[in-house]
Structure 1
Amino acid sequence: MEFDFDFDLLCELTETNGAAGYEDRIREIVRREMEPEVDELHTDAMGNVIGTIEGTEDYEVAVAAHMDEIGFMVRYVDDDGFVSLDALGGWDPRVLRAQRVTVHTDDEDLTGVIGSVPPHLLDGDEGEEDVEDIYVDLGLPADEADERVSVGDIVTMEQTTTKVGNNVSGKALDDRICLFSMLEAAKRIENPDATIHFCATVQEEVGLRGASALGVDVDPDLAVALDVTVANDFPAVSKKRDYVTRLGDGTAIKLKDGSVVTTPKVHKRMRSVAEAEDILYQLEVLPSGGTDTAGFQNTYGAKPVGAISIPTRYLHSVTESANGDDVSATIDLLTAFLETEDGEHDYSL
C-alpha cells in the first residue's frame, strides 16, 4: 500500500528516540518542520514547542500532541556489568524480554539487550516479572560497563518503522503518529480565521505534565488534543467487553477517556465536519487512560476541549500498529476542523 502522506518523516519521528523529559532529538525535528509553516516559534522552559499561525479573528485554538515516548532511566550497574532500570511511563514487562535497547550516555549511544531466561531453564513456577526485574546486557566487561554507563542515563527501545500490509508498525507511534498528523495539518493550513497554536508537548507519559505547564504561554478559547487510542480488534481480547475502536474504520473522535469528558458541542461539530467533508470516523469511549486533553482542561479552567485519536493496536510495545487510511483521515479532519474555526461556533453549555 502506498500512503498519501510523508512516510519518511513519520519513520524519522518514530525511530528517533525521546523518552519523557528527554525529548531533545524529537524537539529538533519538530522545530525544523514547524519553522517554515508558522509565524512564531518558541520553546518554553519545560521543553514544549509552540508554533503559532496568526489568524484574522480574535479567537485562539490550541492543538497538542506529545513528543515523549515511554522509556527507562538507569537505576544502577551491578557488579557483573548488568544495567537495572526504572520505568518512564507504563510498561508491560511481558513485551520487554529479548528486546534490543539503546542506552543514551553523555558521550555515546550503546546498544544493549534485555535478558531473557531460556525456556530450557524454566520450570513453570516463574511468576510475572516487574520492570524492576528487567536488566540490560551491554556485552561489556563489568568495569567497562560501569565506566561508560551512569545512573540517570536514558534507555529507549530500538526498533525500525515499517509497512505491514495497510498498516504502519513500529515503536513510539504513541504519540509520534499524532505529532506527525499535527505537523502535516500545520503545513496545509493557510490564512486561518483563528489563531492556531500547534503545541508539541513533553512528559505526557508521566502525568500530562507538559500540557499542564502550557498555560503560562498559551491561553486558548478552545483546546484540541491528539493521541492514539486502543484498537482491540484482534484475537485474545473480548470483542464486546473490550471494544474501543477498530483499525480501518476511520479517525476516532473522543467522547471520553479516563481523564476527561470532552465538550459535547465540540465533538458534535467534529462529527459534522467529518460528515460534510466525507471523512471516515468512529466514536471513541476509552474506559481508562489519560491524554493531554485533560492537561489542557485542568490548566485553563472552564474552556471547551475536544480530542481526535488514531486507533492503534499493541500500545506501549515496539510493534504498535496503525492503519494508513486512519492516519490520513485524522490529518484531513484536523485540517478541516481548524480551517473552519472562526470564533462563531457556540460551545457554551
Structure 2
Amino acid sequence: MTAQPDFAFDYPLLKELTEAHGVPGYEDRIRELVRREFDGHVDHVQSDAMGNVVGTIDGASDYEVVIAAHMDEIGFIVRHVTDDGFLQLDALGGWDPAVLKAQRVVVHTDDGDLTGVIGSVPPHTLAEEQKKKEPKVEDVFVDLGLPGEEANERVTVGDLVSMEQTTTVVGNTVTGKSLDDRVCLFAMLEAAKRIENPAVTIHFAATVQEEVGLRGAEALGVDLDPDLALALDVTVANDVPGFKPGDYVTTLGEGAGIKLKDGSVITNPKVNKRLRAVAAEHDIPRQPEILPAGGTDTGGLQNSSGAKPVGAISVPTRYLHTVAESAHYADIEATIDLLTQFLTSETGQHDYSL
C-alpha cells in the first residue's frame, strides 16, 4: 500500500478534484465539490446561468479582485451509436488523437456511468496504407463491450464521455487526468481557506467552458466588473527529451509560473512586477512564463466591461491534455503560497494603470 505523501497541502482533496468528471458545459460534479469546499470559508456563494460558481470574501473596501480557475476538462460528446454498439464521438476541447488509443473512458448516461474502451486495432492486422494514416479524433470509437441493441438502449446522442484515470504520486509529481485545471482550482480553494479579513473584496471564481474558448470567464467578467483579475491555469513544462533549454516554457520544480503572455493575453507589467516582488519578499520559488500558443481565462477577463489589469499564476505541468498530466508538488505549494500572499497584501491602492 502506498504511503500517504507528506505534502504541505490537502492531497486527498486534490486527488478527489482531479479524479472527478466534468467536461465543458457539464461541470455539475465539480460545482458540487467547489460549493462544499467554499462552505464556511467565504461570506457568500453565487452561480450564474452558465454554471460559473463564485465564492466571495467581503473586504474592508469596495475594491474588487477576481481570481479565476476553470472547472472543465477536455472530453467528448456522443454523436452516433452504431448498430453494432460502438460510440462515435465529437471532441470537447483540444485532443491529440495519438494519445487516445486503448484508453478507458466513462460514458455518462441518464441511467448512470458506463465504462468503455477506446478501440485500437492490432498493428499486425493493418495494411501499410492504414499504418501511415494520420489519426483523427473523428475516427475514434468507444467499445462498451455490449451487444448493439443494449448499447443503443443505454446510450443516446448527447451523452458525455470523459477519461477514466486515477491520480497518484510519481516521484516528486502528482500525476493523473485533468490537472488542467483542477490543480489550479485546488490552489484557489486552498488560498480561500487561508485568507481572513482582507483589505479588498475577493471573488474566487470557478469558471466553465474554458477548454472551448474561455466562455465562462468572458461572461463572468461582465457580471462582476472587477478592479483587478488574476487567472490560475497550468502551463507547458516541456523540460523533457527532444526540447532544447531555450525552448522550455517552464521547468518542473522551479516554482510557480508568472505569466508574461500566452496566445490569448499579454498580462499587465505592473501586476507581473508585484507578483515577482511578493514572491521575492516571501522566498517563494517562481519562474517567468511565455507560452507561445494556447489561451487561458486571463484573456477572457482582460477586456470584459472595459480594460482590466490582469495577471496570471501558472502551475508548470508536463504532458498536458493527456491522462498522465504531471505537476511537481513544490510548484503546487509555491502557487498556493504566492496567490495567498498576493491577496493578503492587496490593499486596493496599488497603481496598475499604464
Bin for the TM-score computed over the shorter chain: over 0.9
> What's the TM-score, normalizing by structure 1?
0.98
Q: State the match for 1:61 in structure 2.
A: 65
Q: Which amino acid aligns with 2:185?
A: L
Deviates more, 1:96-105 or 1:124-133: 124-133
Q: Distance in 2 between the 1:215 and 1:115 partners?
A: 41
Aligned to 2:123: 119
Residue equivalent to 2:29: 25
Does residue 105 (structure 1) correspond to residue 116 (structure 2)? The answer is no
Where 1:136 maps in the other structure, the secondary structure is: strand
Alignment of 1:212 with 2:218, yes or no, is yes
Contact 2:233-2:313 at 8 Å conserved across structures? yes
Partner SS, residue 245 of structure 2: coil
Report the 3-state secondary structure (helix = DSSP H, G, I; strand = E; otherwise coil) of the residue aligned with 2:326: strand
Q: Residue 41 of structure 1: SS of its match in structure 2?
A: strand
Q: Which amino acid aligns with 2:79?
A: R
Q: For 1:183-198, what aligned pairs fall within 5 Å after superposition?
A: 183-198=189-204
**Alignment pair present for 1:236 and 2:242:** yes
Q: Map of 1:109-188 to 2, 5 A cutoff?
A: 109-125=113-129, 126=131, 127-188=133-194
Aligned to 2:13: 9
Distance 2:8 2:43 in 1: 27
1:78-93 aligned within 5 A: 78-93=82-97
Show the counterpart of 2:297. Answer: 292
Question: Which of 52, 60, 63 is matched with 2:56 structurally?
Answer: 52
User: Please, what is the CA RMSD of the aligned residues?
Assistant: 0.9
Give, in angstroms, the shift of residue 219 of structure 1.
1.3
How far did 1:3 drift?
1.3
Question: Does the Cα contact within 8 Å between 2:221 and 2:300 map onto a contact in 1?
Answer: no
The residue type paired with residue 41 of structure 2 is: E
8 A Cα contact 2:225 2:304, kept in partner: no
Q: State the 1:2 CA deviation.
A: 2.1
Partner SS for 2:149: helix
Say which of 325, 328, 332 aligns to 2:330.
325
TM superposition shift of 1:239: 3.5
Rounded to whole Å, the distance in 1 between the matches of 2:128 and 2:98 is 15
C-alpha contact 2:222 2:305 (8 A) present in aligned 1: no
User: In 2, distance between residues paired with 1:298 and 1:106?
Assistant: 39
Q: What are structure 1's unaligned runs of at least 5 residues? A: none
**Deviation of the 1:124 alpha carbon:** 4.0
For 1:141 and 1:317, the matched residues in 2 are separated by 29
Match of 1:183, SS state, is: helix
In structure 1, give the amino acid aligned to 2:139.
D
Task: After TM superposition, give the deviation of residue 121 of structure 1 in Å.
Answer: 1.3
Counterpart-to-counterpart distance in 1, 2:127 and 2:253:
42
Deviation at 1:216, TM superposition (A): 4.2
Q: One-letter code of the match for 1:263? A: N
Using the aligned pairs only, state the percent identity.
71
CA offset digits 1:153-210 (Å, max 9, x no partner): 0000000000000000000000000000000000000000010000000000000000
State the alpha-carbon separation in 2 of the partners of residues 236 and 80 from structure 1. Answer: 42
**Structure 2: runs of 5+ lacking an equivalent:** none
Deviations 1:304-330 (A, max 9, x none): 000000000000000000000000000
Shift, 1:301, TM fit = 1.9
